[in-house]
Amino acid sequence: MKYRSVTVKGLNIFYREAGDPGLPHFLLLHGFPSASHMYRELMGMLEHKFHVIAPDLIGFGQTDSPPRSDFEYSFENLSRYVEGFIEELGLERFFLYVFDYGAPIGFRVAMHHPEKILGIVSQNGNVYEEGLGKKWEVRAQYWQAPTAQLREQYKAAFSFDTVKGQYTFGTEEGSVAPDGYCLDLYYAQTIEDYAEKQSDLIFDYQSNVRLYPEFQRYLREHQPKLLAIWGQNDPSFIFAGAQAFKRDLPQAKVVGVNSGHFALESSCREIASQILDFFKD
């Protein structure tokens, strides 16, 4: 494993890299509230077949986190920097692994550059309304009638109990190490103005839901090879979101694993095996 950084539009983006650069590229996009460290085990399991690259998004992990006065914390803007990252690294064609926040970012990239996409793994990376769990009903009310009080209330998403719960809910007891969520919490406490930046993204998530029909049109028109592999006990993005891919991609493979939202924490070997089998040709 190598740990590198590259400058994109004046900002430093940290990334992890494994595997021979001559192998097919595989770009891994993380979710909230995590960073590229969520792929620390998966990369080692894929590097003999792929050149694996996992960046930290702007405002996450070891990547720059500019002030809100200088940077718009929106999914569209994060996507532009991912596209800049792809250009800087010279990735002409690649496989894409998307999870959580990484899904609306990755699908924006795929829509803008369909010729670059060799295939997609969507792991609890939702692009269908059927996949939105109960909490999103309340979020939708917030988007329609935002108040300072509700914005403050949603900062509970950065608390210890909430972050730990995202990792452990729906998993077998003792199957999730504390490493991942403790590192996420460290970043939440040390990145300047973290809560406000992440609150901007929580509010902007509505832009992703509005784009779901466009993401689905991309799937129908381009028919990328897609593996939807889901921690099927995830209360945030429920398993129906994985099954919905079959509507637009009849040849998609849909797999449920006995885990929750951060399925890699307890089912990494199973997920890696599915990826290697699905993209072996």
User: What are the catalytic residues?
Assistant: 261
Cα gap 105→103, rounded to integer Å: 5
Query: What's CA 201's distance to the chain center, in Å?
Result: 13
33 preceded by cis ω (within 30°)? yes
Q: Helices in the chain by DSSP H: which ranges?
A: 40-46, 75-89, 102-112, 135-144, 148-153, 160-168, 179-190, 194-222, 240-243, 245-248, 264-278
- Contact, 63 vs 55, CB < 8 A? yes
Half-sphere exposure of 191 (CA within 13 A, CB side): 26
Pairing of strands 11-18, 2-8: antiparallel
- Of 127, 65, 131, 129, the closest CA to residue 98 belongs to 127
* Per-residue three-class SS string for 101-131: CHHHHHHHHHHHCHHHEEEEEECCCCCCHHH
Per-residue tokens: 122: 């969507």
Torsion of CA 220, 268, 124, 30, to 10 degrees: -90
Sheet-wide strand order for 2-8: 2-8, 11-18, 51-55, 25-29, 94-98, 117-122, 226-231, 253-257
Count Cα neighbours of 157 within 13 Å in the Cβ-side half-sphere. Answer: 22
